Structure 1
């Protein structure tokens, strides 16, 4: 065989071996992500609350508004994108944990998930509770039940969970502002006066993949697996799914306004807490204070917003003139007409409407075509029109507040 051919063969063989090692390294990296208990805690929580959402939508409208899979797909892209940005920061900081520490976080996540409150499945509460555990060490470390726990926590400097809390709180605020008000779930309920009113529920669980470091040798590595050295210690990157839960009920205004405002306030708190976390490097007790302060502040934001919304008159209710759009069925004719939630339909096929009965009667004037006079959010009238076809679900696909005289459904 020619020497040149032999050399080419060795190069090809070497390239193949290198590619195999790289693929195996990627497989290990993703494999530890896929066996992480936090991922399955998140998926199970989404499975449960998506089922509750669909059931409640059927009670209100005799149909689901969004498929159950929407609770995975709607937050997916924003969670991945933000995970990339946060990972750049955690890599820069060299944030290092241990696998037993991840197990502790998983247990605390489970304890908060048992409450069935999605908003508590969040790093603010989980890492806040973890920091409080650090502060309780003088009281609990001597008890046999907590010996293992404090051996695990003792391997992680307290500034690490403190910084993670601040970073993930900022991330939570960004996600809420960017994605929290999209595809909120409409519902019907009785007001204090016994009238039907509409409201929107925002409920999200983002699974944000974050790159963190663990000491070298804890998991298998190959020659092409990246290993970083900080203070003479080798570190390997792993991918950890952090769960960020959010829920908010809105009845007094359009969903987007208070939800985006909530996101901005959380970002502001996160920046403040980041300063406290940095200060904990010099005064470690500040990290414990941060844990309690973060939980109290986040809970105060939730409760104050809930109280503020309850004090407002219902935005979605029957009016003397026009029908306020409470919701839109995906793929329906009214969605294709670009009708938005919160707009008011004042005329259908040239006939004035003010409730679902008059709406339906006007719709029957032309079973093949529909023309709408719509009052938009700026108070200006615009016109929308579209064809209707036999067999289309509920004909138009607009969700309205139902009347007391008609208890069957509230979908036109």
Structure 2
């Protein structure tokens, strides 16, 4: 029992000493700073506070990290210290692009795999890195490909649960030179992983464990922070639907990679096939999305039927009235509206009360109403696409 307490305490200490844990703070704050700066430029108001990405980084990846660690521990999938070292270098490399999409585990863990594969096959010498990147024991590469599949499942889970939550609105120019709205999702999640390393003070708790081949009966545990990043600009659909489609594709890719990775514990070439499938597949997912977007109109463009809601400011009267992103406001206080000028003019007809006619995503019409307070008629909390010659966007 004392050995377990010591190993757990040592693992926690190593986790909080890991550079990526703290570098991720700055990366997440940078994402928040860039988002707030752009939103203020486009809308003269920020939608979420600048610490939103930082809170997401710290909290949202804990559950998938725990689940992955339990699977790895139960299976007895072991790794040398070379994998976390290679993953660290790969993550730092891709983080230099300042684009979270490159921090998908398909790229970071995939690069780590092929770096270790290169070292193992060719016994290559890399200055300053060979001290950290050994190629023993032989089970490291199958474990990396297995972990890669699990991390893709974690990425899919995080996309489903978080990536469509509070996406950031933006105004861009369409090919025709008109203002159109898009949404952007940029996320960085910290996923805590527990790795099993051969050699140490811990022993197998059961005779039939582990399920996978293990080199000896003694092992130690290593807790590391692993980054998962995501970035997508959503042009032709609602944020939730677009991100859900991406999450499903990542889930399918994870199933394919896992089907290739598991035989790799007995036939190493399957591990290489799994890593290659992960990298290639993850590169193709955004390409497929771009091809689909080319044949579809922008979802958030100006309409003659009314004012389409690009976003809702949290805590605003519009949120309290139950308005949703993508809905169409057709009448304000009984007056038909189809642009920002008409919207503001109709809103000011009644300084104490607001009544909206709204068309929802199913095309059904409903009425929403609420009280306004002094000074609030300019802060209803609706963001929409404004006219090209005026300030590009407005908060209704």
Q: Which of the numbers 71, 75, 90 marks the counterpart of 2:72?
A: 90
Q: CA deviation at 1:343?
A: 0.4
CA gap 1:142/1:346 in 2 versus in 1, 3 angstroms = closer
Match of 1:8 in 2: none
Retained in 2: the 8 A contact 1:96–1:212?
A: yes
Q: CA deviation at 1:234?
A: 2.0
Retained in 2: the 8 A contact 1:94–1:212?
A: no
Match of 1:51 in 2: 33
Match of 1:306 in 2: 290
Q: CA deviation at 1:131?
A: 2.0
Q: CA deviation at 1:38?
A: 2.5
CA gap 1:140/1:26 in 2 versus in 1, 3 angstroms = closer
CA gap 1:23/1:351 in 2 versus in 1, 3 angstroms = farther
- 1:219-238 to structure 2, matched below 5 A, reads 228=204, 232-238=216-222
CA distance, structure 2, for counterparts of residue 326 and residue 251 of structure 1: 11
For structure 2, the 5+ residue unaligned runs are 206-213
CA gap 1:181/1:273 in 2 versus in 1, 3 angstroms = same
Match of 2:194 in 1: 211
Matched, 1:396 2:373: no
Q: Which of the numbers 377, 383, 394 marks the counterpart of 2:361?
A: 377
| Structure 2 SS opposite 1:136 | helix
Retained in 2: the 8 A contact 1:128–1:290?
A: no
Retained in 1: the 8 A contact 2:57–2:189?
A: yes
Q: CA deviation at 1:75?
A: 5.9
Q: Which of the numbers 150, 158, 163 marks the counterpart of 1:180?
A: 163
CA distance, structure 1, for counterparts of residue 72 and residue 375 of structure 2: 53
Match of 1:36 in 2: 18
What TM-score do you get using the length of structure 2 for normalisation?
A: 0.90
CA deviation string 1:36-93 (max 9, x = no partner): 2221232222122221111111121011111121113346554222222222211111
| Structure 2 SS opposite 1:48 | helix
Greater gyration radius: 1
CA distance, structure 2, for counterparts of residue 81 and residue 291 of structure 1: 24
Match of 1:128 in 2: 110
CA deviation string 1:82-111 (max 9, x = no partner): 222222211111233344532221111000
| Structure 2 SS opposite 1:158 | helix
Match of 1:323 in 2: 307
CA distance, structure 2, for counterparts of residue 149 and residue 23 of structure 1: 29
Matched, 1:202 2:185: yes
Retained in 1: the 8 A contact 2:353–2:369?
A: yes
CA distance, structure 1, for counterparts of residue 389 and residue 133 of structure 2: 65
Retained in 1: the 8 A contact 2:81–2:133?
A: no
| Structure 2 SS opposite 1:358 | helix
What TM-score do you get using the length of structure 1 for normalisation?
A: 0.87
Q: Which of the numbers 164, 172, 178 marks the counterpart of 2:147?
A: 164
Q: CA deviation at 1:169?
A: 0.9
Q: CA deviation at 1:400?
A: 0.7
For structure 1, the 5+ residue unaligned runs are 1-17
Aligned-pair RMSD on alpha carbons? 2.5
CA distance, structure 2, for counterparts of residue 263 and residue 299 of structure 1: 14
Retained in 1: the 8 A contact 2:29–2:54?
A: no
Q: CA deviation at 1:362?
A: 0.7
